[in-house]
Amino acid sequence: MSTERPDNDVTGPRRRRPPLAVASVAAAVLLAGGGGAYWASTASGDGGAADSSAARGKAPVLALDAAEAGPATPGDPSTPPPGIAPGEPDPNGPPVVYRAAGQLPDGPDEAAVHRATGTVAPAEVARLAKALGIPGTPRTEGASWVVGDEDGPGALLKVTKQAPGTWTFARTTPVKPCDPGKMCANQSPPEAGGQPVSEKAAKAAAAPVLKAVGQDDAALNAGQLMGDVRVVNADPKVDGLPTYGWSTGVQIGPDGKVAGAAGS
């Protein structure tokens, strides 16, 4: 069933995704990982299988449960949101509370903690740019790698150098120059009027991009629509476990080409 939820619209600011521990494992993925693999390192840093008790004792503590009850502090449920006086009702309504209706499965007693570390090399950026069909060599702009022309026509890829290597890709629309002595009118991109491609075609078009970022074996969902653009969302796994908030979204236009993409 198709839905419309512009979570992966690269034309606007990206939403901050809440972290979620899945099966007692916190996973972080660097999408532009070397050799088509995820860049992740365990907190203990000594290979996992050969862990010793001493090595595990040195690993940083990962808090999965809520903090113990204590004095109310900003952010606690007992503390009114900013701008609301004590005793006044929250205009947004009470907080939503979810409770399990049945028995939950037991989680493991121990699990590896994966953290995205290191930096993204220009070779990884070049591989992704090639999959997106962007010519050029990665160049530095502040804390990011950039490939393409920001002024267009063409496409632009930006990749944060530091892990987790958040990246965005967008097609740039050429802007006609103003006639001398005349005021330019606002030039808006053409409105959507085509038909979105099928889910199968969208997944096939997104495959080279997902392979370049090491997500060719990720679970895919191509049900999201943004007008005539179909979005392929890829949810990776780390150590065989699902992740949350690390999706890559690849937008496929009605012409069957990648119109935009983003990952983190």
pLDDT tens sequence across 39-59: 333 333 444 444 444 445 566
Count up the domains in the chain and report the number.
1
Average pLDDT on 155-181 reads 85
Helices (H), the chain: 53-58, 122-132, 199-212
141 versus 108: the higher-pLDDT residue is: 141
In a domain, 104, yes or no: no
229 neighbors 252 (Cβ within 8 angstroms): yes
Residue 216 domain-assigned (yes or no): yes
pLDDT by residue (tens digit) across 183-238? 665 555 555 568 999 999 999 999 999 999 999 889 999 999 999 999 999 999 88
Structural domain containing residue 226: 34-41+115-263
Question: What is the side-by-side strand order in the sheet with 167-172?
Answer: 139-141, 144-148, 154-160, 167-172, 258-263, 248-252, 229-235, 219-226
Residues 6+ apart with CB under 8 A from 83: none
Q: What is the pLDDT of residue 88?
A: 76
H/E run at residue 227: none
- pTM of the prediction? 0.61
φ, ψ of residue 68 to 5 degrees: the values are -65, 155
Of the pLDDT bands very low, low, confident and very high (cuts 50, 70, 90), residue 26 is very low
**Which of 206 and 9 is assigned the larger pLDDT?**
206
Burial letters 82-120, b for 16+ CB under 10 A, else e: eeeeeeeeeeeeeeeeeeeeeeeeeeeeebbbbbbebeb
pLDDT of residue 240 exceeding 60, the answer is yes
List the beta strands (DSSP E) in 40-184: 41-42, 114-115, 139-141, 144-148, 154-160, 167-172
Is 178 a member of any domain? yes
Residue 3 lies in a domain: no
138 alpha-carbon distance from chain centroid: 21
Length of the chain: 264
Pick from 111, 155, 121, 161: nearest CA to 35: 121
Look at residue 231 and tell me if it is in a domain: yes
Domain membership of residue 53 (yes or no) is: no
In a domain, 13, yes or no: no
